[in-house]
Amino acid sequence: MGAGPDGIDGVRLLERYGPWVVIAGASEGMGRDYARMLAGHGLNCVLVSRRKALLDEQAAGLERDHGIRTRAIALDLSEHDAAQRLFDLTSDLDVGLYISNAGADPRGAYFLDCPIGDWLGMLQRNTATVMGSCHRFATAMKRRGRGGILIMASGAGLGGGPRLAVYSATKAFEIAFAESLWSELGPHGIDVTCLVAPATDTPALRRLLERSGLKPEGLFASEEVARTGLRELGRGPTYIFPFADVTPEQAAAHSEARRERVEEVARSSAAMFYGKDD
């Protein structure tokens, strides 16, 4: 028992977050890595994304290689009812872990250069669908007293910039949302971790870079980022990769400082609100 050389405790993963994990955004990149790693530790996988053929192929490979069960669900997470549909399609399964991975910006465009409908789709996928899924899955996890939620955010969520208006705002939402859930759900046995990922070598980022004629250089390996996510699950609330361009003085960009801040907010909110409706 205990963590392996990669820092991941496979037995704990299965006991605490099994038997089923739902991976929203599983057909490539880090979502695919999460599925492979978790299947390797014996967790059954619900694979969700839009490209069903990729999911079916992946599901067959995981069942063959790891002897686990899978369910492939083709779903557009930017649809308004995606969280409810995802929950309905998995309601017969004992889901112990929900991973929100789908969330990159395929456009990299200025705010006014895309129709508002495009931005609203990203807003829905990265906020309302994540929120709705967490509410539904965590309600079931709370009932049985254990579970986990892992949300993939981004360094872009630490502040805005050109071509990032909606993306960075949704990633900031994910960070703050996960930190609050970490405080609220921890006492019920539900671990919540938000991974503030760095520039990572995924097919989605490569497509974006290629479109701009840029080379994929200086990127983190997708597998390393996913491994870190599984290692940090249970620590939380926020794991921020060391970014070369952030100084230590920018304390909001440090995992420990954010944890301390969340704990401080929890203390002061307890002083303000307890006794009113708890």
Ligand X SMILES: NC(=O)c1ccc[n+]([C@@H]2O[C@H](COP(=O)([O-])OP(=O)(O)OC[C@H]3O[C@@H](n4cnc5c(N)ncnc54)[C@H](OP(=O)(O)O)[C@@H]3O)[C@@H](O)[C@H]2O)c1
Q: If residue 201 lies in a helix (H) or strand (E), which one and from where to where?
A: strand 200-201
Measure the CA angle with vertex 83, ends 77 and 86; round to 5°.
Answer: 85
Determine if 68 is a binding residue for ligand X (CB under 6 A): no
The stretch among 1-9, 12-20, 194-202, 254-262 that binds ligand X (CB under 6 A) is: 194-202
* φ/ψ (deg, to 5) at 68: -100, 175
Task: Count Cα neighbours of 218 within 13 Å in the Cβ-side half-sphere.
Answer: 7
Region of 56-64, 96-104, 251-259, 267-275 interacting with ligand X (CB under 6 A): 96-104
Binding-site string for ligand X from residue 249 to residue 278, where x marks contact by CB under 6 A and - marks none: ------------------------------
| Residue 167: active-site member | yes
What's the CA gap between 267 and 271, in Å, rounded? Answer: 6
154 is an interface residue for ligand X by CB under 6 A: yes
Residues paired with 193 in a beta bridge? 150
CB of 70 to ligand X, least distance (A): 15
Per DSSP, the three-state class of 244 is coil
Number of shown-chain residues binding ligand X (CB under 6 A): 28
Could you tell me how far CA 175 lies from the centroid of its own chain? Answer: 10
77 binds ligand X (CB under 6 A): yes
Is residue 234 classed as helix, strand or coil in its secondary structure? Answer: coil
26 lines the binding site for ligand X (CB under 6 A): yes
On whether the CB atoms of residues 258 and 240 are closer than 8 A, the answer is yes
- Sole binder of ligand X in the list 14, 204, 257, 266 (CB under 6 A): 204
Site residues, ligand X (CB under 6 A): 25-31, 49-51, 54, 75-78, 101-104, 125, 152, 154, 197, 199-200, 202, 204-205
Report, as residue numbers or ranges, the catalytic residues: 167, 171
